[in-house]
Amino acid sequence: MKTMNYLVLFAVTTLALSGCATSHGTSPKGLELPIEKAAVKFSSDIKDGGYKVVSTDELKKWLDEGKKLTIISTLPATEDKEFGTLPSAVNGAMPKTEKDLTQADKDNLLTVAGTDKEKQVVVYCGFVACRRSHIGAKILVDNGFKNVYRYPAGVTGWSESNYPLTK
C-alpha cells in the first residue's frame, strides 16, 4: 500500500510538472527559444541603435491625444498597400539587412523624416523580429534626430490590437 501511494504521488507530480512546462511561457506553442533569440537580438539592437522604444498602447495613446509625431513605415510600399499603415504614416522603406542598405535608401528616409531633428519620430515595420525599423531608427539617430522611437510590434501588433489601419 505504501508503494502504491508513492507511485500515485510520483505520477501526480510528474503530470503536474509536465503541465507547467507546456502551459507557461510567452509562446502558445511552447517554442520559447525563437522568442528568446528575437528578444536578445532586439535588446542588442536597442543598445546599438541609441533610440527609444514605444509600446502599442503608448503609441495609440499618443495618437488619440493628437501628439505631434512623424510615423514612418519602413516596409516596402507594396506591403503598405497590401496590409495598410498606421494612421498618418509615411513610407521610408528600408531593406531587410544592413548589407543591402543603399545611399538612396538613407536619402529617402531622411527626406521623409524632414529637417526638424527635435520632433518625435516613430519608426516601425512588420513585427518584433523585423529589423527594417531598427535600420531606419539607427539611421535617424546617426543623422542627429533626438527623439527617435522604434515601435517593435509593427503593423502586425497594431492589427492584432484591432487598431485602425489606413489603406
> Of 150, 161, 148, which is closest to residue 74 (Cα–Cα)?
150
Task: List C-alpha distances in Å: 97 to 48, 58, 71.
Answer: 15, 28, 21
Q: How confident is the model at residue 29 (pLDDT cuts 50, 70, 90)?
A: confident
- The reported pTM is 0.81
Lowest mean pLDDT among 14-23, 64-73, 84-93, 115-124: 14-23
Is pLDDT of 167 > 90? no
Q: Are 70 and 113 in contact (CB under 8 A)?
A: yes
- Return the pLDDT at 27: 66
Report the first-to-last Cα separation within the chain, whole angstroms: 70
Q: For the residues 131-145, what does the mean pLDDT come to?
A: 97
Please name each of the domains of the chain with its CATH number: 37-160 (3.40.250.10)
What are the beta bridge partners of residue 149? Answer: 52, 122
Higher-scoring residue by pLDDT: 97, 26 = 97
Higher-scoring residue by pLDDT: 10, 33 = 33
Q: For the residues 125-147, what does the mean pLDDT come to?
A: 95
Lowest mean pLDDT among 23-27, 90-94, 161-165: 23-27
Is pLDDT of 11 > 60? no
